[in-house]
Every structure is written in C-alpha cells, then in structure tokens.
Structure 1
Amino acid sequence: MRTIFRFITGIIKFVVCLIFIICLIGAGMAAYAFYIAPDRLTTEDINVESSLVSRDIDIAVIADTHFGAGFEAEDFDKVIDEINAEDVDIVLFLGDLIDDYNRYTIDDFSKGTGDPAVISEKLSEINASLGKFAVFGNHDYGGGAENHYEDIMNAGGFTVLKNESYVLPGTGLRLIGIDDLLLGYGSVSISESATSNMYDLILCHEPDIYDKLTGDDIDFMFAGHTHGGQINIPYLRDEFLPSLGSKYLKGEYSDGISTLYVNPGLGTTKIKARLFAEPEITYLHIKSI
C-alpha cells in the first residue's frame, strides 16, 4: 500500500513539475514574442552570379512596415542606418507601408497624430545610388491609402511600379513590379516582359502568385505579405497567414528556373508580436561573371 502511495505521489510531483516547466517556457516565449522579437532587426544575404548583368549590383529589400501604433517613425531609424551602412545600389520596398491609413492619420499615438510626411522624410534618408523602387500591398489600397500611398513613396524618393517594368541603364537589370492582387489591379501578365538577354527581377507583395508567372526568363522574385507567419507556430500562424500568402511562408524557394524569396517584413499587424519570424532586411548581391 505504501509503495502504491509513493508511486502515485511521484507521478503527481512529475506532472506538477512538467506543468510548471511548460508554463515557464510558454511565459518565456510570450515575453520574447511581445517584448523582444518585434524590435529586433536581422539581415539575410543572398549571393547570385549572372552573365546578364554588366556590373556587380547590391540590392536591399524591405517590406511590411505597417506604420502605426506598433511601428512608429522612429522605429524605422535602425533600418535606415543598417541599409546606409551597406552602401547599396538599389532599395526595394514590397508594400504595406501603413497598417491602417485612416486610423494612422486620425488617431493619436504615443507621439501624436500620425503624419505621412514624416514617413516620407524617413524614406528619403535611405541612400541608393541606382534608385529606390516599390510596389503596392493590400494595406496600401485599404483603409483609405489608395490615393495617398504613391505620393508618400514618391516624396521619399521611391518610384512605384504598377504592372510595369523598369530597365536600369547600363546594368543589364530589369525590375518588373506587379501591383497588389488582393485589393489592387495586379496582373501577372507583366511577367511576360522578361527576356533572356537581361536579368529580370520581379517585385510583388503576394508570394503565392509565383506559381502563375509566365515565361522561362524570370531570374528572381521578391515578395512580402506573410510576415514569415508572424506567430510562426503551427495552427496559431494560420490566424495570421493572409490570402495569397499561405504556400510560400518565408525564405528562399526555387522551381529550378527562377528563385523566389519571401521577406518576413519589419512591422506587425493585428497584434504587436512575432515568434520565429523576426523582422528582416534582405540583401541580394548579384555578381557579374
């Protein structure tokens, strides 16, 4: 009888300890997700070689700032400093600049009413010798942003590509910008402008259109939109994965012909938390061979 009692007591102690450890781990993960991860800034370097470019080209890629209560203008300063320290040739922004334009310009945040002109000023501080380019995201159409986003980006020195291509003179590089496909006027047919005699790089907000691109001459594609899952835990992340952003989550994918890279973005939406999906600046280094 005493042996059975000890056995049962041991099991109870084990279960209690296990529950305590699980709760401790859960609390630690929650603290990291809410108070540490959203304020981190990581970088990822991708190196490719191509005979199609006439010179080495360094490109910085950012996405999904979602300016608002969870990501204010001063939070962008470290992004500016990081990119400028790398002395890149081109900067690409993949959409979702302001989380909710109407709310941002009306509601009071910690430092007062959100001012899009301040965002433009911050964007203008980013240096890129060959130019800065952007596409629309779904949040750049929703929330009253459609008639303002392009002006904000232009004031910050960015050229917004809407289903159009842009050849950078003397480089052999062509940028192909696809407009947002959820709330905008995106058309994958612009990908047909890719040719075999230039390095063709597509920028688009939603990654899952990668499967719909036409032609065999696309070399690289960048997308954002997913936040890398934001809360990147199975089942929980499904609450954060948006339409056209559930197949390609984050990182690099290839079909053997072209490569897709999904940038996990800088800001957050719904809640200011990230887990296993830290904010990132992606650098693409194209070496001429």
Structure 2
Amino acid sequence: MMNKLIHPTKALPVLAMTAGVLAVYPRLVCRRYRILSRRIHTPFRLAVLSDLHASWYGAGQTELLRRLVKEQPDGVLLAGDMGPDWRPADNLRELLTSLSNRYPIFYVSGNHEIRSGRSRSVKTLMLEFGVSVLEGNTRILRKGMDRIQICGVDDPEVDFFFSGPSWMQQLHSCSDAREEEIFSVLLSHRPELFSFYAKENFDLVVCGHAHGGQVRIPGLLNGLYAPNQGFFPSHAGGFYRKGNTAMIVSRGLAKNCIPRICNPPEFLVIDILPAPERMFLAQRTGEVVDSLL
C-alpha cells in the first residue's frame, strides 16, 4: 500500500509547534569569540560560565561538563550567580568537583549570592575547591612563557550588605594592580557598568547578569528586558567595545522559571590570540567576533 502524502497546509501546525518548542526550550550552545592582541605571544583559551542559578545539565552536570571539557580551556571564569538562592548548592558543588581538578578557575560574586545572604558560604565553597575568589584583587594565568592578568570585583550589591571595600574601591584596586605590558581581563557580573570599566582601560571585560534579555529576535532584537537595564537593554549579551576596552556579555546558563525565547542558554569560549602585525580592523564572522586590542 502506498503511503499517504500529507498536504503541506496540514503539516504547518506541526512545524509551527515544533519551532515554538525549540524557541522556548532551546538546547545549550557554545558561543565563541576571538580577541586579537599584541600584548601576548601565546594563544589563551578561556571558558566562561555565568548565571547557573539552580539549573542542572544532566545528572552531575554531565552535559555541561562534557561540552566544556571538549573545548580544552586554559582557564574557567565564573561570572556570578552560580548557585541557587535558597536550596543547597549541590548543582554548583557537582560542577566544581569535576572542573577544579582540570583547570584554574576564577570567580566573582553576583547579585543573587549577595542578596540571598549566601555570598560568604559560596565563597567558602569556592575556596574549598581551590578556586581564585576575586574581590578587588588580581591573579596571573600562565601558559608557557606568556601570561595574562585576571582581575575581578564583587557585585555592586556588596555596598549595601557588607562593610568591606566598596565596589568602586575594588575596581580601582584592580586598575592599580594592572600591569601595562600584560593583557588584562576584568571579571565582573554587571554589564550595564561598562562605562566605568572602560575608564580603567582593561583590555577585556567579561560579564553576565542580563540573561540575554530573556526574549530575543536574532538580527532584530537583542533582548527584551534585563535586570538593572529595563526594557530593550543596551548590553544584554554579545560583544561590545568602548575605546580600547572590549566587553563580552554571556547570556548565561539559567533555564528555570522564566522561559527563554530564541535565547538559548550558553557558555562562552574566548580565544585570546597574538595579533598579526598588519591587522588593524575588527572583523565579525557569524557568531565569532575578531577584535584587535
């Protein structure tokens, strides 16, 4: 018996439903960036995780770990909001258990760690796994004979909940410790403060927090709403540049209560590469951004 053909108009509802499901419940993606700099001679690869919140990627975070390990980063940056607000941070502990034996890890707090009152306990957990906790200080990441400087600040909420150095003091401390001849990376949770970062002349700033604006229309709308930026945020996710400073904003890993529409959860891979002598212009190719610093 011949198979019955399905009329195209009858297939449209099924296709629309499938597209809708994929738009609202997208799979994890790896987004890649390339930064070209004359300050380095050896390629560095950084993986960036942000805004995990209470999310799981398979038992033991196996899906996320499998994808990340495949990229073979030289270091991992955790850009804040990396655990649940109230429940035990089992999802974060599972992640650190596997990552800490493989890579140098650098962490800054996000607003949720501080507002929930769990900032100290999360930092203690990080230190337990040998993670570098950055709160106005810097670390050096070495590869062969080359090195880059990783700086970091707490989330600005620290000013309202703690009596230590203010957020601005932390930022200035990082800037003062910056070595001019070394490529510098500032890790900070908040992208909407880009103008402050650019004044300090860091080469690269890495942020999270905005969750990609939650709803995206690729090529038309880069985010509908982001915390601390409101509707139609200017820094919801992607690559930005101001003067000599580049900023890359992760759209984050959270996939819990609020649907993400055309906005898949992501982790980042940033390749910092030696710049060719004759290259002077930034280039954009698909999801990869080449920017000369």
TM-score over 0.5 (shorter chain): yes
- Name the TM-score, length of structure 2 as normaliser: 0.74
Quote the RMSD (CA, aligned, Å): 3.0
Alignment correspondent of 2:287: none
How far apart are residue 42 of structure 1 and its match? 0.8
Alignment correspondent of 2:137: 164
Q: Equivalent residue of 2:124, what SS?
A: helix
Alignment correspondent of 1:212: 196
How far apart are residue 45 of structure 1 and its match? 1.7
How far apart are residue 76 of structure 1 and its match? 2.6
In structure 2, relative to structure 1, the CA distance for the partners of 1:129 and 1:171 (3 Å cut) is farther
Percent identity reads: 22
Aligned residues between the structures: 250
Contact 1:92/1:132, CA 8 A, preserved across alignment: yes
Match for 1:275 among 258, 261, 269? 261
Where in structure 1 do 4 or more consecutive aligned residues deviate above 6 Å?
23-26
Q: Distance in 2 between matches of 1:227 and 1:75?
A: 23
> Tell me, which stretches of 5 or more residues in structure 2 are unaligned?
1-8, 160-165, 276-293
Q: Distance in 2 between matches of 1:76 and 1:60?
A: 16
In structure 2, relative to structure 1, the CA distance for the partners of 1:96 and 1:125 (3 Å cut) is same
1:122-271, aligned counterparts within 5 Å? Answer: 122-126=95-99, 131-169=104-142, 170-183=145-158, 185-187=166-168, 188-193=171-176, 194-213=178-197, 215=199, 217-232=201-216, 238=224, 240-243=225-228, 246-268=233-255, 270-271=257-258
Q: Equivalent residue of 1:232, what SS?
A: coil
Q: Per-residue displacement from partner, 1:78-112 (whole Å, max 9, x unpaired)?
A: 11111111211100010101232x2x13xxxxxxx
Alignment correspondent of 1:109: none
Q: Per-residue displacement from partner, 1:231-267 (whole Å, max 9, x unpaired)?
A: 23699x65x5101583301100112411111100011
Q: Structure 1 counterpart of 2:51, which letter?
A: D
> Tell me, which stretches of 5 or more residues in structure 1 are unaligned?
1-16, 106-115
Q: Structure 2 counterpart of 1:49, which letter?
A: L
Q: Distance in 2 between matches of 1:88 and 1:141?
A: 28
Q: Equivalent residue of 2:21, what SS?
A: helix
Q: Per-residue displacement from partner, 1:137-171 (whole Å, max 9, x unpaired)?
A: 01111223122111222234421101111123453
CA radius of gyration, larger in: 1
In terms of fraction of residues, the more helix-rich structure is 1
